[in-house]
Amino acid sequence: MRLARVLRSWTAASAVLAIAAALSAAVVAASPLTTTPANTRWTGVSNNNNIHNADASLANGAQHAFVWGGDAQDDALQRPRGTDQKAVQWDKYSMVLAGKRTFLFSVEFHPWRLPVPGMWRDVLDKIKAAGFNCLSIYTHWGLMQPLPDPASLTFDHMHDLARFLDLAHEVGLFVIVRPGPYINAETTAGGLAPWTTRLNATLRTNATEFEQAWTPYLSAVADIVRPRQLVWDGEVPGRGISGGSVIGIQADNEYHAGPTRDAYIKSLVQFYKDRGVWLVTYNDIGQQNSFVDIVDLWGLDSYPLGFDCSHPEKWQQIPDDYLARHERTNPNEPFIIPEWQGGSYDPFGGEGYGACAELTGPAFTTLATEAMLAQRVTWLSFYMGFGGTNWGSLPAPDVYTSYDYAAPISESRQLTPKYGAVKALAHLIRSFPDLAQTERVSVDKRKNGLMVTELRNPETNAGFYFIRHTDAPSREETRYQLTINTSQGEQTIPRAAGKLTLKGRTSQIICTDRTLPGDHHLLYTTASLFFAGAIDGIDILVMYADPDAGPLETVFAHPPAAAGASRRASSKAARITVRSEPEQTEFVFDTQGMPDGPDGEEVTWLYFDLGSAPLLLVYANYKAVDRLQANIIASGPIEGFANFWDLGAQETVLSHLSAPGLVRSASYSDDGTELRFEGQTNTSTLLKFVGRQSVKSVTWNGSPVPVLEDGPIKTVGLPGLTDAVAKWEPPSLKDLEWVYADSLPELQTDFPVDEYLTPANKTAADTTNPYFQDHLVQTQGQVLFASEYGFHGNFILWRGAFDVNAERRDSFAGIELHIEGGRFFAYSVWLNGRFLGSAFGDKAHGAVQKVFSFDQGLLAENNSLVIVQDHTGIEMEYGDLPIGVRNDEASLWSISTDKYEAVKLPRGIISYNFVPKQKQKEQKKQNESRTSPAGVAKDDEVQVSWHLAGNYRGEHSPDRIRSNLNEGGLFAERQGWHLPGFNGSDSWERRAPTEGIGRGWTRGTPGIGFFRTELALDVPERETSDISLAFVLPPIIKRGSRSEEARRPTYRALLYVNGWQFGKYVPALGPQHVFPVPQGILDYAGTNSVGLALWALEEGEEHGRLAEPLRLEVVARWNGAPGAGRDAIVPNNPTWADLRQDHAA
């Protein structure tokens, strides 16, 4: 957009004929309001959101007196059980916070998936700027308490819950805390502390031992939450507020009702109440009505499209029966969806988050969410808002390192197209507080395939018409007319010849009877609404549409008392027509030819100077919504709540960027003459805005910027990237010096087992795991489950020693192993240093049974068997059968199905048997049968003594920052080769990952090697810019013919950055090969340790080396620091000296 064309029609009074003064007349006194819509007349509708004592009913013919403002009557609202606090109350419509009716529009964010506290504000700012007013968070017991000893609980660093809640309060977001103890979240053990798998108790029941386990953790959480709850003195709505912004806590997560489970949820609820946490909520896994009568507030989770991103063009139907179910289940509470599909997780072998973003993109997000609004939802939380990273062994078997989730904010903190969609929804909800209190008047499923739902506010009579195709996946385009009920009677739209158009997979909301603060009364508009409100005395409507939407009608009603006055308006704007009638003024904007890109005028600003009540109409191409912003201005008399809309803040700045970017926040100087924007741009651009007319100067990120156009609508020029930031590139990793060492010395016959490995010496008397009693377990009475020894993730190494006398050595042809590691896991086997083979799990099987043959003469008197297994996470627990175990496979386990606990499903050796020669053929037939019974009786004369290795010191890991879930049992990990400051590599071989593992003639032989280098970074202008980086491994070979897929290498690799495991790369499965690593894990002004553990599972050099060099690339670069630079981003990466030097290796 050229500078000379930044404004259409505000400067000259002659550009617009004055509309009669009556257009801005004050609202007439309220009078009784009939609720029969066709007969209602506009009588001065208020959009005041204070709760009053009027009866809210839409019964036919019912009437009520309209009452302005006021406190809620005690008998009109409900509050949490067992408390007389009034800060958090509700009725059947919505939440009432500090006396203010509030639509909670929320997103999910897990602080521990962004383990850099200095980065949290950046994400919260972006959530706030999108228009959300609430946040839902999980805390992760498994990360926070590595040991049964309560003294191991930590609330530091990424677990600093107090810091996070205080920050959310400062930014202006309410918070729902969800501490579990079970959280699901696609994380290992569903967030339960892994050591609880050893308890002699059924988890997630009121079993004493389990309750004793979670009590210290939830007590600590409650102690942090209690003083940070919202507090209100119960007097004037929106005043007398103190405390923090926490409005509730959730009891457990997505469970099924049952006697022991009911008792468990009751104990959690009472536990919180006893500790002064008032509101306890619950989110049902579906429509099962679990625990409705136990908790204060109940909601159902909903993911209409499911989690299969392999066919992103394929949609499912959007449920339209939720409201009916809600009214049968908990009709006296608001309709709540605590988890609403904001994206999808993706498994190994999946299509990647690009496909998930397509599946759950802006079209689905808008249509499906508006379908929920049509069902009177008033508390909805997108899961996720920001997904983050599954670093270390955080993932459950269903997911890989990235937890991007196709969320509105990507893993690398970039705004996606979905961000614009949720922003438009959030701003609409904020602009129409009437949505927080509606009744459904009708649902009309028409013959033309459309579904029209009418909602109406029983107090203000504001109406909302939701139009979509009954068949939500339909791509049909339908033209239609609609008869709406308004304060001036029925109106058939569009008025002009022609019809409205609804494209496939889109929806439309027609809003009626909204009085703007300057008393202009919107009767209706056929455009989509982004913002309705006032700024410094100017009433504003911001509307958007497709460029080919046709004429957009926007009609204002005149107060009846002034209906006889003459009124006309016109505009020189090329595409605007203004028609005035005695009781209405109609603005028709023709979208035909609307420019469709940043080089044209995506946004048309039409300013009507009407004296005491000016009016601004803004028409935008729908693509421009991504760059429209209506930032809340922190204000108000209540200390600590100045950033909360309708509690403190009551003022907005409207702006539009002409290029991609973000207006993070806006504020005024004390005298109101300077407007201070904070945000991010990556190119020089224009910012057009409407703020206080007193503004004389503008700053951007603290620096003055030129005002190019003055007046009611101002334009300023914003800087782009500096040359230093625009041209900076990270060092080439292939040019660095890499060093290499073997990481599988356990294959050596003389390896000092007792010095480096843990004895696997537990027996039946030492375990309560029910699976050990199963007939499938054949381990000579030894417990070979890794969690029984305190090892809960990543690589697990097993080393068995056994003797075979000379007479027996030639009688065995192989060994049968049944190993469990979780879906998509793998394992490799060596006998006396000789590689026998590998086995691979898949999406349906977390255990693999296979016979490994060996040659005659390989056995000796003293033998060692080494098994290296992957561990893809502990199962999440949310059903009667372990995830990954189908009903038709359940019979393989002899445990009664009512005692299944998926979380206790073992990771380790289920059985082992030496195969006699005569049985070899029979067993080879079973190689492909991954769930078959053990079949061959073991030879009891061959006794095996086992040792194992997991992460360094297991649950007693000295790393309290990264936790015991960061590392695994590789020799390299246990020795700390991946840690910053490790200095034992001077004697290592100089070798890059592209040269592969092994030595000399053993190149291409399966094994494990570790590569390490040092990377110096000096990112320019770190205090004023934001550069996101990612490590890039060789691309995944795309699916195609079998020959193409056969080219996929089978090796697996772990990427370590400054001691943090930030990438698990599985090229045989994919899809991930790009691994974002945030600043704070990477030291942008120092030396970084980069490590790569490479596991070759098959013969061949291609299976033991990178086909291309590892790269570090820029994902995005912006002018403007993360979080506006308010929080220091300080690396917290404990070194080798911190974690290994003073400990036995």
Q: Which of 1124, 1122, 1138, 1143 is nearest to 114 (CA)?
A: 1122
For residue 1129, give the CATH number of its domain: 2.60.120.260
Together in a domain, 847 and 733: no
Element at 903 (helix H, strand E)? none
Together in a domain, 791 and 891: yes
Together in a domain, 863 and 987: no
Together in a domain, 153 and 97: yes
> Residue 998: what pLDDT?
85
How does DSSP classify residue 1001?
A: G
Together in a domain, 999 and 887: no
Q: Which of 542, 485, 534 is nearest to 513 (CA)?
A: 485
Together in a domain, 122 and 224: yes
Cα 36 to Cα 43: distance, rounded to the nearest angstrom = 14
Question: Which of 380, 412, 431 is the C-terminal boundary of a domain?
Answer: 431
Together in a domain, 939 and 981: no
Task: State pTM to two decimals.
Answer: 0.91
In a domain, 523, yes or no: no
pLDDT at 641 over 60: yes
Q: Are 223 and 232 in contact (CB under 8 A)?
A: no
In a domain, 95, yes or no: yes
Average pLDDT, the chain: 88
pLDDT confidence bin for 470, thresholds 50/70/90: very high
> Residue 57: what pLDDT?
31
pLDDT tens-digit profile of 1068-1089? 999 999 999 999 999 999 999 9
Together in a domain, 1021 and 934: no
In a domain, 603, yes or no: no
**Of the given ranges (58-67, 445-454, 995-1004), which has the lowest mean pLDDT?**
58-67
Residue pointed to by tokens 């030291």: 1083
The more confidently predicted of residues 19 and 1031 is 1031
Together in a domain, 138 and 281: yes
pLDDT tens-digit profile of 347-375? 999 999 999 999 999 999 999 999 999 99
3-state secondary structure of 514: strand
For the residues 259-265, what does the mean pLDDT come to?
Answer: 92
Most confident of 25-29, 253-257, 488-492: 488-492
The more confidently predicted of residues 954 and 773 is 954
Sign of CA dihedral 897, 899, 904, 907: negative
As a whole-number percent, the residues of the chain with pLDDT over 90 amount to 76
For the residues 870-894, what does the mean pLDDT come to?
Answer: 63
pLDDT confidence bin for 917, thresholds 50/70/90: confident
In a domain, 342, yes or no: yes
Q: Which of 463, 609, 601, 625 is nearest to 542 (CA)?
A: 625
- Angle (nearest 5°) at CA 781 between 780 and 785: 105
pLDDT confidence bin for 573, thresholds 50/70/90: low
pLDDT at 1005 over 70: yes
Q: Are 346 and 399 in contact (CB under 8 A)?
A: yes
Together in a domain, 948 and 988: no
**Of the given ranges (42-56, 150-164, 1030-1044), which has the lowest mean pLDDT?**
42-56
User: What residues make up the domain containing 834?
Assistant: 744-953
pLDDT tens-digit profile of 735-748? 999 999 999 999 99
In a domain, 277, yes or no: yes
Q: Which amino acid is at 456?
A: R
pLDDT at 50 over 60: no
Sign of CA dihedral 561, 566, 572, 578: positive
For residue 208, give the CATH number of its domain: 3.20.20.80
In a domain, 906, yes or no: yes
In a domain, 318, yes or no: yes
Together in a domain, 192 and 278: yes
For the residues 953-973, what does the mean pLDDT come to?
Answer: 98
Together in a domain, 1014 and 906: no
For the residues 806-812, what does the mean pLDDT come to?
Answer: 88
pLDDT at 928 over 90: no
Q: Are 979 and 952 in contact (CB under 8 A)?
A: no
> What's the total number of domains in the chain?
3
Question: Which of 922, 953, 984 is the C-terminal boundary of a domain?
Answer: 953
Question: Which of 376, 411, 431 is the C-terminal boundary of a domain?
Answer: 431
pLDDT at 1047 over 80: no
In a domain, 897, yes or no: yes
Percent helix, strand and coil across the chain, each to the nearest 5: 20, 30, 50
